[in-house]
Amino acid sequence: MTASTLFEKVWKQHEVVPETPATPAVLYIDLHLVHEVTSPQAFSLLRSLKLPVRRTDRTLATMDHSTPTLTDQVFGNVPITVDAAAKQVRQLEQNAADFGVELFGLRDARRGIVHVISPELGASRPGMTIVCGDSHTSTHGAFGALAFGIGSTEVGHVLATQCLLQRKPRCFAINVEGKLPPGVTAKDLILAIIGKVGVSGGTGHVLEYRGSTIRALSMDERMTICNMSIEAGARAGMVAPDEVTFAYLEGKPRAPQGADWDQSVAGWKTLASDPGARFDLSVDIDASALEPMITYGTNPGMVVPIGGSIPDSAGDAVQDKALGYMGFRGGEAMLGKPVNTVFIGSCTNGRLEDLEAAARVLKGRKVASGVHLLIVPGSQKIRRDAEAAGLADVFRAAGADWRESGCSMCLGMNGDTVGAGQYSLSTSNRNFEGRQGVGARTLLASPLTAAASAVRGRITDPRDFL
């Protein structure tokens, strides 16, 4: 037996038909997650071909992208502000009913961001193939699953056949050693990795995050890391399952139980990359040397340590355009720059540990005058857990705007937007032009940095508050 990587093992176990020079592999999909934005066209395709959803038992739908986060619009009788979004929500309800797909609808207690709810249900598990019409599907790789985003045509293919045609990607090892210093989080680590690898460095590859630092991370933290694999251009990101993974999954509603559990864990333990497995690319990161990170430009690779300054553009067209858009100049310090909006949430940083981190900074403090701090839990379960743990009280007392779950301000399509020219310090994943609203200027950072900056109204090193 030749030594195999984690990715190669999962791939091999899902090859219905291996690839040949003339044809891609037929890859079996264990779990298909569906949401309201990228599925309508796929269901229309099925309708036009008079095809059913082939495996409703492997299909799970929710609504998150265009759903409102205001309680009145979710649970009250107030109409959803964005008409087209309301239509999309109704369309998914209709499609799920017509095709027999399980849906966690707008008022369902299990609803939330698709990449948050599947893990908390125990539906995302080691060794699975998981797809969704959303690039942040890479999140589920934290469990040692092969999870990647697809387009709407492919959503149709999976609904119809439970398979995809795929060429096998290459393997890229991200080796991280050392202990993260206090105040430096998983978000800072992944931003540093993207800064080093570049926004297209992972193209054509599946990343495997390895090393003592990764082993020491919780599942929430591993999900933050894997979530942003796509921002390095990668097809997917994975972490080998271990005791941390098993402890997280045990007892979750859809995790195997009893004898099935023991058998599953035994199988999952064989998935880690073999010693001597070959990676096409690799990079080494020293976690102990990292600082809190923040982006200054219009892609996630434009990132510096929070105490650093903005690199000079040196005539680079991309950098020039980005700095012009952001209203920044090369050489300026990031610390102390004013922020108008702070957003804590998203599939990157909307889980309970993220809210706990924010609450640690916000407890007994107030949001600076004139700053809008929006805190949006990743799921309704996290919302309930945060209420029960007293986190929501901390947020309200600080003057934050505490909402129902959803993608919210990560992407401006649900009514939660940042105004033109305004600075938004955001725990989400993309600082692209206009991502949070037309003309919005986004700075990506960790929940700690976000909370600290909300208190001062300026970009703040979170270590000042720890």
Partner 1 sequence: MMQPLRVLRSRTLVMPLANVDTDQIIPARFLTTTTNEGLGKQLFADWRYLPDGAPNPDFILNKAVARDCRILVAGRNFGCGSSREHAPWALVDYGIQAVVSTEIADIFSSNALKNGLLPVVVDEATAAWLIEHPGADVTIDVESATLALPTGASIAFPIEAFSRHCLLNGVDELGYLQSKLPDIERFEAERLCRH
CB 294 within 8 A of CB 304: yes
Q: Site for partner 1 (CB under 8 A): which residue of 8, 120, 134, 385?
A: 134
Residue 36 parent element (H or E): none
In degrees and rounded to multiples of 5, residue 117 shows phi and psi of -75, -35
- Find the shortest distance in angstroms from Cβ 17 to partner 1: 6
Within positions 236 to 255, which residues make up the interface with partner 1, using CB under 8 A? Answer: none
Closer to partner 1 by CB, 12 or 384: give it. Answer: 12
The residue (of 208 and 231) whose beta carbon lies closer to partner 1 is: 231
User: Is there a contact between 179 and 215 (Cβ–Cβ < 8 Å)?
Assistant: no
The residue from 233, 237, 241, 345 that contacts partner 1 (CB under 8 A) is 233
Contact residue for partner 1 among 9, 125, 381, 458 (CB under 8 A): 125
The stretch among 32-40, 334-342, 347-355, 385-393 that binds partner 1 (CB under 8 A) is 32-40
Q: Are 361 and 455 in contact (CB under 8 A)?
A: yes
Residue 327 one-letter amino acid: G
Q: Which of residues 318-377 bind partner 1 (CB under 8 A)?
A: 318, 321
User: With CB under 8 A, what is the number of residues at the site for partner 1?
Assistant: 72
Q: x/- string (CB under 8 A) for partner 1, residues 144-183?
A: -----xxxxxx-xx--xxxxxx-x-x--------------
Nearer to partner 1, 205 or 337 (CB): 205
Q: What does DSSP assign to residue 232? A: G
As a whole number of angstroms, the distance between CA 297 and CA 323 comes to 6
* Least spacing, CB of residue 299 vs partner 1, in Å: 5
Total Cβ atoms within 10 A of residue 367: 20
Kindly state the smallest distance separating residue 283's Cβ from partner 1, in Å.
18
List Cα–Cα distances, 288 to 20, 189, 259, in angstroms. Answer: 44, 10, 41
193-212: which residues touch partner 1 (CB under 8 A)? 199-200, 203-204
Burial class of residue 135 in the structure, from the number of CB atoms within 10 Å of its CB (0-12 exposed, 13-18 middle, 19+ buried): middle
Residue entry with tokens 């309508």 = 40
Q: Token pair 């929070």 is at which residue? A: 306
235 forms part of the interface with partner 1 (CB under 8 A): yes
Q: Give me 450's structure tokens.
A: 């976000």
Residue from 411, 444, 445, 450 touching partner 1 (CB under 8 A): that is 411
Q: Write down the least CB distance from residue 101 to partner 1, Å.
A: 16
Scanning residues 272 to 291, which ones bind partner 1 (CB under 8 A)?
A: none
Strands 170-177 and 281-286: parallel
Window of 11-19, 213-221, 353-361, 389-397 that interacts with partner 1 by CB under 8 A: 11-19
DSSP 27-70: EE-SEEEE-TTTSHHHHHHHHHHT---TTGGGEEEE--SS---S
